[in-house]
């Protein structure tokens, strides 16, 4: 079974998709980490971000690997071209350019192909922007998470403060979230939008546990 969890930055996708994967004993994939890895690799190499072909070559040729510990569906790290970028992909430097990189159609094609291969025949909770619309239009469960921009900025600030890296000023995060929402929703290829058959959940007033229980029960209904 595929559970597609889409939504804008800070809507709670990561926390929710990870917890749902643990609850249901599913695999888990953070597709945003793949776009971030390509963006980070481009920055490291000094690639001109307006050079779509160069970005596409990175996405197609450089291996993205997730590190896994036995028995844990949640990756503990990510590397591209053999270089660990687990922390670096969460920095403001990458936040600022990842929408540009993810708007390149050939980058998306290369990463979507890898995302489909990773899912293969496994049960997986996959989070991103276009999982229910493009990557797996036939996913059995499609969830589109939303929350107000202010709530999303507040959550991201808390999350980064806990992790000890990334931007922690809610006002700076809010400005970035608004800019990324606009870029992600208005791009031509695979814009951020709910699939016609997605269930939209506004998580503003909900706890993580409530959101996860809801998704698990939707999945259980689809199973029978």
Taking CB under 6 A as the rule, does residue 203 contact ligand DC?
Answer: no
When the beta carbons of 161 and 220 are compared against ligand DC, the nearer one is 161
**Cβ nearer to ligand DC, comparing 73 with 166:** 166
Question: Is 66 one of the binding residues for ligand DC (CB under 6 A)?
Answer: no
Strand 27-30 and strand 2-6: the pairing is unpaired
Footprint of ligand DC on 76-135 (CB under 6 A): 98-99, 102, 128-130
Least separation, in Å, of the C-beta of 224 and ligand DC? 29
Residue 146 DSSP SS3 = strand
Structure tokens at 89: 């992909």
Burial of 171 (0-12, 13-18, 19+ CB in 10 A): exposed
DSSP letters of 10-55? TSSHHHHHHHHHHHHT-EEEEHHHHHHHHHHHHHHTT--TT-HHHH
Least CB distance to ligand DC at residue 206 (A):
19
Interface region with ligand DC, contact rule CB under 6 A, candidates 29-37, 56-64, 146-154, 211-219: 29-37
155 and 29 in contact (C-beta within 8 Å)?
A: no
User: Would you tell me which residues interact with ligand DC (CB under 6 A)?
Assistant: 9, 31-32, 35-36, 98-99, 102, 128-130, 180, 184
């Amino acid at each position: 079974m595929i559970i597609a969890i889409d939504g804008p930055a800070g809507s709670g996708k990561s926390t929710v998709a990870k917890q749902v994967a643990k609850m249901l004993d599913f695999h888990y994939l953070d597709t945003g980490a793949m776009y971030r890895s390509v963006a980070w690799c481009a920055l490291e190499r000094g690639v001109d971000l307006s050079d779509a072909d160069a970005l596409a070559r990175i996405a197609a040729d450089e291996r993205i690997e997730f590190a896994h510990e036995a028995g844990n569906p949640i990756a503990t790290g990510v590397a591209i071209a053999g270089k660990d970028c687990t922390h670096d992909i969460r920095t403001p430097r990458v936040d600022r350019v990842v929408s540009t990189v993810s708007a390149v159609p050939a980058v998306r094609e290369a990463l979507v192909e890898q995302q489909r291969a990773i899912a293969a025949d496994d049960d997986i909770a996959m989070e991103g922007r276009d999982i229910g619309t493009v990557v797996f239009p036939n996913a059995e469960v499609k969830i589109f998470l939303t929350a107000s921009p202010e709530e999303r900025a507040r959550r991201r600030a808390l999350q980064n403060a806990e992790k000890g890296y990334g931007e922690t000023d809610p006002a700076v995060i809010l400005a970035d979230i608004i800019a990324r929402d606009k870029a992600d929703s208005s791009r031509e290829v695979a814009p951020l939008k709910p699939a016609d058959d997605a269930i939209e959940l506004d998580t503003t007033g909900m706890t993580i546990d409530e959101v996860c229980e809801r998704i698990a029960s939707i999945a259980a209904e689809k199973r029978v």
